[in-house]
Structure 1
């Protein structure tokens, strides 16, 4: 029976990063995976969707070449099969890279499905399923089924799409994000249920490829976790692109046709309407993969489909830990990675800072992009803060105008009493790359004074971050 210091169950971003950090700390480590190194993120989530969205972005620029003084000789259109092939190739390359990193760091790979039989012991059986198609064979050098021991067992089993009764995916007419990533062809019309990051990203992708897109959101605003002002700006841009958006609305029934679906939608005023589309994407969130792990027998506490943990990922049972999506929101890859590092550093006696969820950024890679960190203006006021709010529009920034991207907004929220940066919210070109500046500022407990005195390079989009801070204190220069 093989014995380890740490066994990580799941090799997604949280799992493989945790395993590598554990090995760096001198802990004998193994990672268990049942279907693909890199998990959902690298294979069916974050990475392949960004590859798809990049293709859509290039298509968009080609369609608007004249706006940049360019003439294309001939038309530009999407080859759906080629777009999907490129996306899958990007995923395959990165999954191979994960295998290399694990080997480089002397982390053993155990191939199969794991169950915790008792604290300190797991049983692994042959994998019998895969997200798409038949089970994937184990990589070269991987260990197989058997019983393994470890002083510390870390669950990094991720999450899967939430399924609503009556809207069960069938992989033909009703899709989850797995199916939406590998379409045989672009549907002429698409109904998206849910306007969180997943729903909006796919709506943006398919709209750019030419589909007529309708988005239905049960809450009063799209992108529900974002600042109201930012979400409203994004909605206006989406509708300008041709999106049809229904908020405060719910799908009460779905009927399948031969090659289409018809959804009955009840709107906020109590009226109903029928919407027919070629395909329907159900993007109503995800649920943690907590089943078949032996948690109930062991007495591991769960809540709302996720494992309950403390600030360093410990569960209610000593020696068992949980990180990433399975440990609850925010269900983001970078949260999983950081959570895993904190977990193993605590195991190694390094006394890391507990995870601070309010400093985890969120990014949505639609067009326009949306990014944020910290409290929205509304949440800050609800928390009892007296706030100072700064705003700066893209139209006031030279680089944005030169890029042909004059629509967007940067918004900052400060504690009026202390100058503490409480939150930052952006919508527009490349904001997913800009947000990290504010993330670092928040982690350094920076106040408005330091941000005002920082010198931002010109001409860059980042200057809008500076101007937004200045605006919060009545000092904006370029508007």
Structure 2
């Protein structure tokens, strides 16, 4: 059976469901196609955030009076991994249920399955008809939209020769499902995800070593932020090795041990830990969605779009991680709203990525907006720098740690 829509969205993550709700508000009949488990995928980061919060509490009470710790533990304070994982699951289910309610309220049809874009067919002279392979095994659904949004997200990147196995070598997704904490962890990659995991695991008492290819951690942040973060986390016991080129072919696995070598300054060094976490970025999910049936162009970071997120097929849009750029939930949401408003005939203002706020959920956290000092100088701006110490801020003193 074929059903006609004004808009069909491939993907049920943050960008996808926000686009669907905005389309409903503008009077567009729309539907969302998503994998069966993706009803909770858009809140997956909340799971990591909850674990991170638990780790902060754990670290906060560690040096406290022993009697206080005992009292806090008797009050079931979430200071252990099993409890944190239980709360993580409850939060994910609660938020996913909220999104499901919003979709129902907006009269948005949700198809649980894998959507694939077809080429010109009896349904349409243009590419864009979507065939949905239903997750429950029922006959494929055929959707005939006037417009399409691709919002299929991304997945953790792996290094050739260093593929994740879920046991010894992990992705960030695997790490969220660890049944118990390892004694030690090697983290390959000192970007945002790597630093967030390093900080959290360290707070939980895990011995952490970070191997970073660049000459500093958080290489996309301002140099001062990178320098200060490395200093603070090093004081907490995290080991950082920068300018380290990991050699995937050198990896060796034993029952509770992973060994790998890295080249630094011309020397080969060997590192070992109970587990290894890959934190080397993310890749767009563009396979298996029918792009070959269209004229849509792709490049290394994902699908090529214009300022309104149109692909080369002007009736097909793409948003979120699948187009690369700033891979942030609030960015995907905003891109989704711009795309929907554009297809509805409005004139939305294009997103200025230099005005997007960013943060690193480490402990301590960092936050930034605008150009870094280095980028500003490279664009010809005259830069003035102002600094103010946390030691002079009352709230910082109340919270401690400065």
Q: CA RMSD in A?
A: 1.8
Give 3-state SS (helix, strand or coil) of 1:58's partner. helix
Aligned twin of 2:47: 48
> Partners of 1:169 and 1:41 in 2: how far apart?
22
1:257 to 247, 254, 258: 254
| Equivalence map 1:287-436=2 (5 Å) | 287-406=283-402
Paired position in structure 1 for 2:123: none
Q: How many residue pairs are counted as aligned between the two chains?
A: 388
> Is 2:147–2:316's contact at 8 Å kept on the other side of the alignment?
yes
The answer to whether the 8 A contact 2:58-2:79 is kept is yes
Specify the SS of the correspondent of 2:17: helix
SS class of match (1:124)? strand
Distance 1:274 1:49 in 2: 30
C-alpha change, 1:144 and 1:155, in structure 2 (3 Å) is farther
Cα displacement (A) at 1:75: 8.6
Shift of 1:358: 1.5
Is 1:154 equivalent to 2:154 in the alignment?
A: no
Q: Which structure 2 residues correspond to residues 263-278 of structure 1 after superposition, within 5 A?
A: 263-267=260-264, 269-278=265-274
1:201-237: CA deviation from partner (whole Å, max 9, x where unpaired) = 1111111111100000000110111100011101001
1:74 deviation in Å?
6.5
Q: Which residue of 2 aligns with 1:2?
A: 3
Following TM superposition, by how much is the alpha carbon of 1:60 offset from its aligned partner in structure 2, in angstroms?
1.4
Match of 1:470 in 2: none
CA distance in 1, matches of 2:205, 2:128: 53
Q: Residues of 2 paired with 1:145 and 1:90: CA distance?
A: 32
| TM-superposition CA deviations, 1:407-464 (whole Å, max 9, x none) | xxxxxxxxxxxxxxxxxxxxxxxxxxxxxxxxxxxxxxxxxxxxxxxxxxxxxxxxxx
Instruction: Show CA shifts across 1:1-53 (max 9, x none).
Output: 1110011110100000000000000000100011334453413xx11000100
- 1:136-189 CA distances to partner (integer Å, 9 max, x unpaired)? x69xxxx97311010000000000111111211001100001111111111000
* Map of 2:89 onto structure 1: 88
| Alpha carbons 1:12, 1:38 under 8 Å: kept | yes
| Equivalent in the alignment of 1:171 | 166
The residue number in structure 1 matching 2:124 is none
Query: CA offset at residue 65 of structure 1?
Result: 3.0
In the alignment, which residue of structure 1 is the partner of 2:57?
Answer: 58
TM superposition score normalised by structure 2? 0.93
5 Å matches for 1:159-308?
159-252=154-247, 253-267=250-264, 269-308=265-304
Q: Which runs of 5+ in 1 are unaligned?
A: 128-136, 407-479
CA distance in 1 between partners of 2:90 and 2:387 (Å): 40
Residues 313 and 343 in structure 1, CA contact (< 8 A), matched pair in contact too: yes
Tell me the SS of whatever aligns to 1:309: coil
C-alpha contact (below 8 Å) 1:13/1:336 kept by paired residues: yes
- The residue matched to 1:4 in structure 2 has which SS? strand
- CA drift of 1:198 comes to 1.2
Task: State how far apart, in whole Å, the 2-side matches of 1:158 and 1:35 are.
Answer: 15
Using a 3 Å threshold, how does the CA distance of structure 1 residues 405 and 203 change in structure 2: closer, same or farther?
A: same
Q: SS where residue 118 of structure 2 aligns?
A: strand
Task: Return the alpha-carbon distance in structure 1 between the equivalents of residues 160 and 256 of structure 2.
Answer: 21
> Does structure 2 conserve the Cα–Cα contact (< 8 Å) formed by 1:111 and 1:144?
no
Alignment partner of 2:310: what SS?
coil
Q: Is there any run of 5+ residues in structure 2 with no aligned partner, and where?
A: 120-126
Higher relative contact order (CA 8 A, sep 6+): 2
- Is it true that 1:72 corresponds to 2:60 in the alignment? no
